[in-house]
Amino acid sequence: MKNKIFGTNNDFTGLILRLTLGLILLPHGAQKMLGMFGGYGFTGTMGFFTGTMHLPWIIGFLVIVIEFIGAISLVTGFASRIWSVLTIILFTGIVLTSHLDNGFFMNWFGNQKGEGYEYHLLIIGLSFALFINGSGKLSVDKVITKGQ
């Protein structure tokens, strides 16, 4: 079981996938958790999720954890398969609840009522590839499974 979760090839593919995914998600998670980059921090974000979006508190909490702790774990290569699955679930939920009605394209010119879901599909695709491949070179997962 340990090898199914943490097992990985010693390749650059996993390294590139997890760094790309983790470094894209980390600023979004830092907005939600720490209030960096113009974000509202944990309390403000939880207030928005529960008060404005009417999400259960556990869902709001998991969104913040997946985007912040998950991004850090992806960058370090710890449990990348688990964080990939959680990211797929999260971004599928985001598309279905907030972006599906806005169409495919992002709102580059401000002429839509909101953002489309093209960015989210990229995140989901990277997450699927990382789930299949594993963390790759320079990962905590590689250290955990060393010798197996």
The residues spanned by each domain of the chain are 2-141
Considering only residues 146 and 27, tell me which one the structure prediction assigns the higher pLDDT. 27
Is the per-residue pLDDT at 15 higher than 90?
yes
pLDDT tens string 44-95: 999 999 999 999 999 999 999 999 999 999 999 999 999 999 999 999 999 9
pLDDT of residue 148: 53
Is the per-residue pLDDT at 105 higher than 60?
yes
* CA dist 42 → 56, 63, 64, 85 (Å): 15, 11, 8, 23
Considering only residues 146 and 133, tell me which one the structure prediction assigns the higher pLDDT. 133
